[in-house]
């Protein structure tokens, strides 16, 4: 039985995809071959030698030590797009919350409890919470991936002028964009033209602190900023200064950091982006299917540290090799199989940076010493015979 460890509560609709005749799934299995996780911090986790893969039920993987996983031959999956609609809907909600002081108005009405003249009081005081409409305004979308693309398309249908920027936009992502979405060459173009800016990029060395004093200074006065991606994308001190000066009229974020709580002009939601039943179900199902396909067939899809490699099975045995992306490696791998007189029916190989993966389908049985010989090759990280 293959053992799968759950580090968080994972929707049952997902774990049910793991055949109980094949898998033992639980939160206390001793030597897991796979781990399913949501937000649990794994950065200091010591991994058992049997661990082959980690599936993150969500998009962000900043809670997983990717470099160490790569070095130890542990494939890390995420579930891009599975929670995109939930985040998109919250982003649309944030657009409206940034435009009209709905939250302040609701809180003010609560203070009128017991007031027999509440209706008249409301009519006199409602102007304090008035705002603007989003129709006809310019929305700048930073990041046009699964979530950002959906937000951009929805905003077009709501009558906004949408401009987006994504240096890493995929061909598929481009095809999915509404043709009315204008593409900016740089983020600076968005900063200079947008009435609203919504951020949908991961936290990397290039994006951390991207919203800071220097970039805020180039934006339109009264700009409204939405950040449902990562708190570290925005410099808190600089954002507070921009709110105080009026450069930013509203900041809506999904991250309750101490420096932002209670700041005038800031609206904070309690990390609700992907917290819908549908998103959690979709992420759990995708994570389970990715894990199962890798453990059963060696196929990799949606990994964040190894290349995507999938191949229909055609031989009797499949040999899977995680290795460094070094010249001549394929010759070394096939050479070992040739020495053992093993016939390769089919094979595929791809790389991602310094990490590479090779699948070889072989006719007949594979002697145990073959895996040992492959593992002994310089640059080979892990060998599996399925």
Q: Tens digits of per-residue pLDDT, 347-378? A: 999 999 999 999 999 999 999 999 999 999 99
Cβ neighbors of 183 (< 8 A, separation 6 or more) are: 163, 164, 165, 169
Query: Could you tell me how far CA 50 lies from the centroid of its own chain?
Result: 26
Q: What is the pLDDT of residue 203?
A: 87
Please give the structure tokens belonging to residue 156.
């077009």
Strands (E), the chain: 2-6, 23-26, 34-37, 53-56, 75-77, 138-142, 161-165, 182-183, 196-199, 223-227, 248-253, 266-268, 317-324, 343-352, 355-363, 380-385
Q: What is the mean pLDDT of residues 62-80?
A: 96
pLDDT at residue 162, rounded to an integer: 98
d(CA 147, CA 229): 10
Q: How far apart are CA 203 and CA 228, in angstroms?
A: 12
- 3-state secondary structure (DSSP) of residue 253: strand
Task: Report whether pLDDT(59) > 90.
Answer: no
Q: How far apart are the first and last CA of the chain?
A: 14
Q: What is the pLDDT of residue 275?
A: 87
pLDDT at residue 68 tops 90: yes
DSSP 184: P
Q: Is the pLDDT of residue 8 over 90?
A: yes
358 with 330: CB under 8 angstroms? yes
- Lowest model confidence (mean pLDDT) among 91-95, 127-131, 201-205, 241-245: 201-205
The rounded percent of the chain whose pLDDT value lies above 70 is 100
Residues 268-294 pLDDT 10s: 999 999 889 999 999 999 999 999 999
Is the CB of residue 370 less than 8 Å from the CB of residue 383? Answer: no
Q: Kindly indicate the confidence band of residue 5, based on its pLDDT and cuts at 50, 70 and 90.
A: very high
**Complete domains list, the chain, with CATH:** 1-83+274-305 (3.40.50.720), 84-268 (3.40.50.720), 307-386 (3.30.70.260)
Determine how many CB atoms are found less than 10 A away from the CB of residue 161: 18
Collapsing DSSP states into helix, strand and coil, what is residue 375?
Answer: helix
Q: What is the pLDDT of residue 204?
A: 87
Q: Which residue has the higher pLDDT, 80 or 152?
A: 152
CB atoms within 10 A of CB 81: 17
The average pLDDT across 92-100 equals: 98
Q: Is the pLDDT of residue 343 over 90?
A: yes
Say what the pLDDT of residue 202 is: 87
Is 60 a residue whose pLDDT tops 90? no
pTM, two decimal places: 0.81
- Averaged pLDDT for residues 111-115: 94
* Whole-angstrom distance, CA of residue 253 vs CA of residue 216: 16
Distances (CA, A) of 19 to 25, 89, 301: 10, 33, 20
**pLDDT tens-digit profile of 118-137?**
999 999 999 999 999 999 99
The phi-psi region of residue 271 (left if phi > 0; otherwise alpha if psi is between -120 and 50; otherwise beta) is left
Q: List, for residues 167-215, the tens digit of each pLDDT value.
A: 999 898 999 999 999 999 999 999 999 999 999 998 888 999 999 999 9
The average confidence (pLDDT) of the chain is 96
């Amino acid at each position: 039985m293959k053992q799968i460890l759950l580090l968080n509560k994972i929707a049952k609709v997902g774990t049910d995809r793991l055949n109980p005749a094949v898998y033992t799934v639980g939160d206390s299995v001793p030597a897991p071959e796979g781990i399913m996780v949501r937000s649990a911090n794994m950065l200091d986790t010591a991994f058992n030698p049997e661990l082959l893969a980690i599936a993150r039920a969500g998009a962000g993987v900043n809670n997983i030590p990717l470099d160490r996983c790569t070095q130890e031959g542990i494939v890390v999956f995420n579930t891009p797009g599975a929670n995109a609609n939930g985040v998109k809907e919250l982003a649309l909600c944030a657009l409206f919350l940034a435009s009209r002081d709905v939250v302040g108005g609701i809180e003010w009405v609560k203070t009128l409890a017991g007031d027999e003249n509440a209706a008249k009081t409301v009519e006199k005081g409602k102007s304090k919470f008035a705002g603007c409409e989003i129709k006809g305004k310019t929305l700048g979308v930073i990041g046009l991936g699964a979530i950002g693309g959906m937000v951009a398309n929805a905003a077009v249908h709501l009558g906004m002028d949408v401009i987006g920027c994504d240096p890493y936009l995929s061909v598929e992502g481009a095809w999915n964009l509404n043709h009315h979405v204008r593409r900016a060459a740089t983020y600076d173009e968005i900063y200079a033209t947008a009435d609203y800016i919504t951020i949908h990029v991961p936290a990397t060395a290039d994006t951390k602190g991207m919203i800071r004093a220097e970039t805020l200074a180039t934006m339109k006065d009264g700009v409204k900023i939405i950040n449902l991606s990562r708190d570290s994308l925005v410099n808190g001190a600089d954002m507070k200064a921009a709110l105080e000066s009026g450069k930013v009229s509203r900041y809506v974020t999904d991250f309750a950091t101490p420096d932002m709580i209670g700041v005038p002009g800031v609206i904070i939601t309690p990390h609700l982006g992907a917290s819908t039943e549908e998103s959690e179900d979709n992420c759990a199902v995708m994570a389970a299917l990715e894990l199962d396909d890798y453990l059963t067939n060696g196929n990799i899809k949606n990994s964040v540290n190894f290349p995507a490699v999938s191949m229909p099975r055609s031989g009797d045995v499949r040999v899977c090799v995680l290795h460094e992306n070094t010249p001549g490696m394929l010759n070394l791998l096939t050479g070992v199989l040739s020495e053992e007189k093993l016939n390769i029916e089919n094979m595929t190989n791809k790389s991602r940076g310094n990490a590479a993966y090779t699948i070889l389908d072989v006719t007949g049985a594979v002697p145990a010493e073959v895996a040992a010989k492959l593992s002994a090759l310089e640059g080979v990280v892990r060998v599996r015979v399925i």
